[in-house]
Amino acid sequence: MSTGAVKVTEVFPHFITGAVKVTPAHDFYDYDLGERFSLDSVTILGEDGTIDCPVSRFNGLRRFDARHEVTDALKEKGLYGGQKEHAMVVPVCRYV
């Protein structure tokens, strides 16, 4: 799995974090960045909506349950930085 830092100029300034998380299997934007920087695409969500990652303690959890569990785990380790609301854009094919 690819890890490390890459220089990305296409950031969303309204988030103002100074960091960009790239998840190539997440959306078109991240896929493009993943291709450009040769990042691996890893799918951890099964077709049934559960976490499919055998090496994770969250394996088998439904995705919304996993979100709360991951948040709790980050808080326990003092790594949780907070939550912000933002609009999510979901592309829909006009041919569907």
Could you read off the pLDDT of 11-66 as tens digits, one per residue? Answer: 666 666 666 677 787 778 888 888 888 888 888 889 999 999 888 899 999 999 99
The DSSP string of 5-54 is --------TTT--S-----TTT-HHHHHHHHHTTPPP---B-TTSBB--T
| pLDDT, greater one: 8 or 42 | 42
Most confident of 8-12, 17-21, 67-71: 67-71
Q: What is the pTM of this model?
A: 0.59
Distance CA 30, CA 76 (A): 29
